[in-house]
Structure 1
Amino acid sequence: MILEVATLLVKKGEEKQFEKDFEIASQFISSIQGYYGHSLRKCIEQENKYILLVDWEKLEDHTIGFRQSGHYLEWKKLLHHYYDPFPIVEHFEMILENKK
């Protein structure tokens, strides 16, 4: 499993509308093969900063399956105008997990 981590800086004053549009946009990412789930988390110290965490079966499910789909174009139309600067997106593989 691959974890996509995107650091999102939303234009100040647009956070509430971004959160509403993100909820709508969630339908587009969740329909992609290899998608396992996602969460959006808001920074406590900086109210316009978020992280998006998405679990994918493999890297290509995100980089090809989602990014080259019509669903991505809808996602982009709903969300990309909120970001300043454009998000940093990285992918991580599990080395160790310990949960209580």
Structure 2
Amino acid sequence: MQQDGMLKARAELCERIDGLRAAIANGPIAGLCDKASDVRHLAQRYQLRPVADLAWKLEGRLARGERGPSVIDMLSLMREASENGRAAPHAASPSVAAASARVM
């Protein structure tokens, strides 16, 4: 049963990340920051620290008005980490770890 809950949480995270990505081009800054914060809080609730950490960094970039390739890359990393369901930073896939070093 616990595994079903985690699958649902990861699916919800992916949906929220996809919605945020779709809103990046035209969404208001405050709304984008709120969406990133929602992703961060959900990831924290399910102890998906890599996703939460990336969402926190994304909030800062969005607050500064960034919407370019680095933001899109970060959203891709967040989605990959959500799909993999890695709970600990050291357990993230090598590609997520390498890419996150680029966007930090």
TM-score, normalised via structure 1 length: 0.34
Q: Which has the higher helix share?
A: 2
Q: Which has the higher strand share?
A: 1
TM-score, normalised via structure 2 length: 0.34
Higher RCO structure, 1 or 2 (CA under 8 Å, sep 6+)? 1
Structure whose CA Rg is larger? 1
